[in-house]
Amino acid sequence: MLHTIKSEQHGPLGEPMAHAVQSCVHCGFCLAACPTYQEFGQEMDSPRGRIVLMKQVLEGTLPATAAQVHIDRCLGCLACEPACPSGVSYRDLISPYRAVVQEKLPRTTAERLRRWMAAMTIPYPGRFRLALLGAKLGKLVRPLVPSALRPMLELAPDSVPPGVTLPTVTPAQGQRRARVALLAGCAQQVLEPDINVATIEVLARNGIEVIVPPSQGCCGGLAWHTGDLKAAQAFARQNLDAFPADVDAILTNAAGCGSAMHEYHLVLKGTPDEARADAFRHRVVDVSLFLTKLGLRETPKGWGQPRAVAYHDACHLANAQNVRAEPRSLLKAIPGVEVRELANAHLCCGSAGTYNLDQPETASSLGAQKAAAVVAALAGPDGQPAAGPLTVATGNIGCLTQLRTHLAKTNSPIRVQHTMQVLRDAYRSG
């Protein structure tokens, strides 16, 4: 089996895929952790079942089309990895598999158009902003829009915040304790540019100089997770060239971006840039992890009254990067803050990159469940919302927009913020 998966048609990605397949002992511990298994209740919509399907496709005993619907349903949330007693690296299989078979899969014209539009807009902030403006016009003639493109209209916000130009260098306040480079992200710069503003302010307050390389680009995660290997490689190389070597870390404040950059060694496997990518990924750190390790120099004063803050684990922060305690620790450092936990916190909110566009029904179901969990977590003993301002914090722009969308559908007053925004506001309030 190892030999057949490593055959020439699979290229350098064959080896990590084969190792992931061989590691699975089909014990079934992953089933309870998998959101799509909970949704569909089918073996083939679980990690264990998908591993069997991908193995057969890679060995040539099953056509890729026969597995397509189940592989497309996979969120790539990696909740199966911490649940696996055998240590199966599912991330070494799902995205490489999509990259290997993507061109062999039949797609309708509408599906190809939707994927092309997403690939040509979301990774480019200027284009994405224009696309969202165009979506406002599209909503006016919604019945005339092809059904395959309507999820794009549904997800487009009614208004977009003004753009923000980030300084190339933000000096540390007081004595400099560290010097970092920050990935600004692509969709985040359009949908919630204040996340970067808050991140830079919090870092500077704590003695950290922040560099925002002007030649950086998209992390490549959207391309990598949809099987567009060439685009993912181009984005990876752009960032390898853009980020300086003389910094203490390369920080990300979007879980999906950090996870994608940690996989650059896979994206560029078998190329002359593989070793450089492997060294690069070890320098990438989520902002909450970096700030917790360094320690807060200045304790935020808070708001002078108790405040309940629920915390939602972004999948690619908790599962892909094993960052769970650190964001909670930062929130608990704010006087008066009570961090509330969500029921079934391991289940994905349904955002997952372009999953909302490709699998809108499943994404919507998962989003509604997560919003209900947030409401329940922030309720008082009587089941009504707790007293005072209510906030749910998270570490990923996709989760943030998904939670806002589904909380708004219930007319919930709960505010959705990035962890760095909560921390920044606590500093400013004091």
Residue 71, pLDDT score: 97
Contact between residue 90 and residue 50 where contact means Cβ atoms under 8 Å apart: no
Same domain as 221, residue 192: yes
User: Closest by alpha carbon to 219, among 247, 181, 258, 189?
Assistant: 258
The answer to the question of residue 18 being in a domain is yes
Contact between residue 27 and residue 81 where contact means Cβ atoms under 8 Å apart: no
State how far Cα 178 lies from the chain centre: 26
The answer to the question of residue 162 being in a domain is no
Same domain as 417, residue 323: yes
Distance CA 265, CA 53 (A): 25
pLDDT tens digits, the chain, 430 residues: what are they? 444 665 556 889 999 999 999 999 999 999 999 999 999 999 999 999 999 999 999 999 999 999 999 999 999 999 999 999 999 999 999 999 999 998 888 888 888 888 999 999 999 999 999 999 888 888 778 787 777 777 778 778 888 999 999 999 999 999 999 999 999 999 999 999 999 999 999 999 999 999 999 999 999 999 999 999 999 999 999 999 999 999 999 999 999 999 999 999 999 999 999 999 999 999 999 999 999 999 999 899 999 888 999 999 999 999 999 999 999 999 999 999 999 999 999 999 999 888 998 999 999 999 999 999 999 999 987 777 766 789 999 999 999 999 999 999 999 999 999 999 999 999 999 6
Distance CA 327, CA 346 (A): 16
Distance CA 245, CA 262 (A): 17
Q: How many domains does the chain have?
A: 4
Same domain as 410, residue 321: yes
Q: What is the CATH number for 410?
A: 3.40.50
Beta-strand relationship, 208-211 and 169-170: antiparallel
Q: What is the CATH number for 16?
A: 1.10.1060.10
The answer to the question of residue 306 being in a domain is yes
**249, 269, 293 — which closes off a domain?**
293
Distance CA 205, CA 425 (A): 12
- Which two structure tokens, joined as six digits, stand for 37? 């298994």
Same domain as 99, residue 132: no
Strand partners, 155: none
**77, 104, 131 — which closes off a domain?**
104
Residue 6, pLDDT score: 54
The answer to the question of residue 267 being in a domain is yes
The answer to the question of residue 22 being in a domain is yes
The answer to the question of residue 163 being in a domain is no
State how far Cα 48 lies from the chain centre: 23
User: Closest by alpha carbon to 347, among 330, 321, 368, 326?
Assistant: 368
b/e sequence 147-161, b meaning 16+ C-beta within 10 Å: ebbbbbbebbeeebe
Same domain as 133, residue 54: no
The answer to the question of residue 161 being in a domain is no
DSSP-derived secondary structure letter, 385 = B
Question: Amino acid identity of 270?
Answer: G
Same domain as 355, residue 315: yes
Contact between residue 50 and residue 44 where contact means Cβ atoms under 8 Å apart: yes
User: Closest by alpha carbon to 321, among 400, 418, 253?
Assistant: 253
The answer to the question of residue 317 being in a domain is yes
Give residues with Cβ within 8 angstroms of 158, minimum separation 6: 136
Same domain as 366, residue 395: yes
Residue 1, pLDDT score: 45
Q: How many residues does the chain have?
A: 430
Helix (H, G, I), strand (E, B) or coil at 180: strand
Dihedral angle sign, alpha carbons of residues 191, 193, 194, 199: positive
Range of the domain at 15: 2-104
Same domain as 146, residue 35: no
Strand partners, 250: 181, 284
Global pTM reads 0.94
Distance CA 144, CA 236 (A): 38
